[in-house]
Amino acid sequence: MVARGDMLVGAGTVLTPAQVDQAVEAGASYVVSPGLSRAVVERCREREVVVLPGGVTATEVQAALELGVTTVKFFPASTSGGAPAIAALAGPFGNVRFVPTGGIGPNNLADYLSIPAVAAVGGSWMVPRDRVKSGDFAAIQQLTAEAVALASRS
């Protein structure tokens, strides 16, 4: 992975191999996809970029394993069973790590982070679209600092 200061640059909602190419050419060191696409995973391997495909069912997680993927995005987390669903999947898939996104915020962050199989969480509550649009980066910085503090306590 290529670090940019203290950040990694990634690309999200990648759906096609062509989008993988665009992301890599723009400097992404990892790619996130809402679902599991063999073509996207294979292109990421060809381009030597980390891939985080989506998987919320046992079938999808098992398919990810068959492709050599051991960390999956669990999306949309809140409507796919939330933290209890991840805890249940972690039983038979003990070597899989999950990155839940979708419906996560300050009120349920600890529920997810308390599960050993959860590698990280993602959430848009830290970067509300209206704050980005208005250029209120001080508010985004504050929300992000609060999220990091909450995560540190979990």
Average pLDDT value for residue range 30-50? 97
For position 5, what pLDDT does the model report? Answer: 58
Residue for token digits 């199989």? 117
Check pLDDT > 90 for residue 33.
yes
Task: Write the pLDDT tens digit of every residue in 88-104.
Answer: 999 999 999 999 999 99
The 3-state DSSP class for residue 132 equals: helix
Task: Write the pLDDT tens digit of every residue in 16-29.
Answer: 999 999 999 999 99
For position 150, what pLDDT does the model report? Answer: 85
The 3-state DSSP class for residue 8 equals: strand
The 3-state DSSP class for residue 4 equals: strand
The C-alpha atoms of residue 50 and residue 71 are separated, in whole angstroms, by 10
Q: In the structure, what pLDDT confidence band is assigned to residue 151 with cuts at 50, 70 and 90?
A: confident
Q: In the structure, what pLDDT confidence band is assigned to residue 3 with cuts at 50, 70 and 90?
A: very low
Q: In the structure, what pLDDT confidence band is assigned to residue 124 with cuts at 50, 70 and 90?
A: confident
